[in-house]
Amino acid sequence: MSDKKLWSGRFNEPTDAFVEAFTASVEFDQRLYRYDIQGSIAHATMLAKSGILTEAERDSIIDGLKRVEQRIDAGEFEWSVELEDVHMNVESALTADIGDNGKKLHTGRSRNDQVATDIRLYMRDEIELIRSEIKRLQEALLEVAEREAGTIMPGFTHLQTAQPITFGHHVMAWFEMLERDRERLADCNKRVNVMPLGAAALAGTTYPIDRHYTAELLGFDRASENSLDSVSDRDFAIEFSAAAALVMMHLSRMSEELIIWSSAQFAFITLSDSFCTGSSIMPQKKNPDVPELVRGKTGRIFGHLVGLLTLMKGQPLAYNKDNQEDKEPLFDTVDNLKGSLKVFADMIPAITCSEQNMREATMEGFATATDLADYLVRKGTPFRDAHEVVGKAVALCVEKECDLSDLTLNELQGFSNAIADDVFDVLTLEGSVAARNHIGGTAPEQVRAAIQRARARLG
């Protein structure tokens, strides 16, 4: 027991040793130290401007805080569990360094508004990093989409062959999912970037503080409106967590497709060796570990969202110690989301696809059946009748084990005399995709135009 507790005044007995370790958060909240110090420097600057500290006191506090930061940066700082959390560790190191002036820093604030400020500063930075990592992945997708704008593959519904599409179009669907994720995070940041400092413990403070000034110093959009709400709510963290869960859900869906497509049965794509691992007993194996792990991590990120919602739901105003439990799920969400995005952005450009296997798979499932029906409609056949005609033609193909384009003109005319020899134009895969030529359609021309617009949106 070396470090005297900063709140020990009213206590006659020392904290139970286990309780001390049980209630401490320094082991995980030390990662907030830069934000804690940044907030303290702004707070001290504001206190001096408002005449609550002298300029000399302010300067000695700021110099001392910078020295503490340097020691932590250099790994020369000893964190103390007895001092409970990052806030009290930093403050007591400051006082050890500069003497009694250090004790003046905590004027007009509380750890309750301090911790809320630290998390918001942290999240603001992380949201920016995550958004730029999403953007890097989107750029990788555009690269693949450009390369594969004309590559035919089967499009699925119910995982059954539906209609021919282009691989570029499929990849651009992923791009769109991520574009909404990036937007959502930017929107979330509007509610993150609000300053709680000055709410003090719960009701505000009796000192003549200038919260607008502190908000400006810290680059917050504004000071929060209500002190009780400021120290207690973590909805901004929950909202981030929900946005993170959606990104992971998207990555997980992409993972699922990459895993299926790289199987021997599909063999549509090959993942680069550097993103796969082998099996210790089956020499032939090359496993898609990266997408599998990302799909797996999605579960824990969803779990953190539910954890945070549950953490908040029973709390009366204002601050409760429950909120200390927000950090580990939040940090874990940030770390795993960033890791998953990074590995995807690195892995995606190195995907190669087998044009031939994709084409053969498209040929197998009567993917141009809808094109034949549309052809008959253009020749004046009512759609329902056309549907029936094509159904019969497909049944014949199943019997003969061939594709619609393998039937002879005679055989086709046996089903409908509206069919002429121009029918073979629409039964080709290229003809099929090229015909879906409108915004949002799979025609290579449209995919290329979508890529152009996407680049402009990324800026």
With CB under 6 A as the contact rule, which of the stretches 133-141, 166-174, 187-195, 320-328 interacts with ligand ARG?
Answer: 320-328
Side chain identity at residue 434, one-letter code: A
For ligand ARG, which is the closer residue by CB, 230 or 323? 323
Number of Cβ atoms within 10 Å of the Cβ of 123: 21
- The single-letter code of the amino acid at 431 is G
The pair of structure tokens assigned to 114 is 């301090």
Q: Which of the stretches 57-65, 175-183, 208-216, 318-326 binds ligand ARG when contact is defined by CB under 6 A? A: 318-326
Enter the tokens of residue 300: 């824990």
Q: Which of residues 206-265 bind ligand ARG (CB under 6 A)?
A: none
Tokens of 5: 């507790």
85 binds ligand ARG (CB under 6 A): yes
Residue 7's SS3 state is: coil
| Residue with smaller CB distance to ligand ARG, 231 or 351 | 231
Place of tokens 């070396």: 2
CB of 115 to ligand ARG, least distance (A): 4
Among this protein's residues, is 106 annotated catalytic?
no
Stretch that binds ligand ARG, among 36-44, 181-189, 319-327, 357-365 (CB under 6 A): 319-327
List 324, 333, 336, 368, residue binding ligand ARG (CB under 6 A): 324
Q: Is the peptide bond before 318 cis (omega within 30 degrees of 0)?
A: yes
Instruction: Work out whether 166 is an interface residue with ligand ARG (CB under 6 A).
Output: no
Q: Return the residue of 158, 313, 321, 384 that touches ligand ARG, per CB under 6 A.
A: 321
* Cα distance between residue 302 and residue 197, in whole Å: 30
Nearest distance, CB of residue 111 and ligand ARG, angstroms? 4
d(CA 137, CA 345): 4
Measured from the CB of residue 17, what is the shortest distance to ligand ARG in angstroms?
19
Kindly state the smallest distance separating residue 237's Cβ from ligand ARG, in Å.
12
DSSP reduced 3-state for 99 = helix
Binding mask 10-39 for ligand ARG (x = CB under 6 A): ---------------x---x----------
Under 8 Å between Cβ of 112 and 224? no
- Of the two residues 25 and 336, which places its CB atom closer to ligand ARG in the complex? 25
| CB-based contacts of 305, cutoff 8 Å, min separation 6 | 238, 241, 242, 244, 245
Q: For this structure, is 158 an active site residue?
A: yes
Distance of CA 384 to the CA centre of its chain: 45
Yes or no: say if 325 and 22 are a contact pair by the CB < 8 Å rule: no
Q: How far is the CB of 245 from ligand ARG (least distance, A)?
A: 23
CB of 35 to ligand ARG, least distance (A): 13
Total residues in contact with ligand ARG, by rule CB under 6 A: 9
Give the C-alpha separation, 459 to 135, whole Å. Answer: 10
Query: 89-128: which residues touch ligand ARG (CB under 6 A)?
Result: 111-112, 115
d(CA 88, CA 90) in angstroms, rounded, equals 5
Kindly indicate which of the ranges 129-137, 240-248, 253-261, 317-325 contains the residues binding ligand ARG, using the contact rule CB under 6 A. 317-325
Nearer to ligand ARG, 29 or 371 (CB): 29
Cα–Cα nearest to 307, from 237, 206, 365: 237
Query: Is there binding between residue 323 and ligand ARG (CB under 6 A)?
Result: yes
For residues 129 and 132, give the distance between their C-alpha atoms in angstroms, rounded to a whole number.
5
Select 110 or 151, whichever has its Cβ closest to ligand ARG.
110
Sequence-distant (≥ 6) Cβ neighbours of residue 32 within 8 angstroms: 86, 118, 119, 122, 327
CA pair distance 397, 409, nearest whole angstrom: 13
Active-site residue list: 158, 279
Instruction: Please report, as ranges, the residues that interact with ligand ARG according to CB under 6 A.
Output: 25, 29, 85, 111-112, 115, 321, 323-324
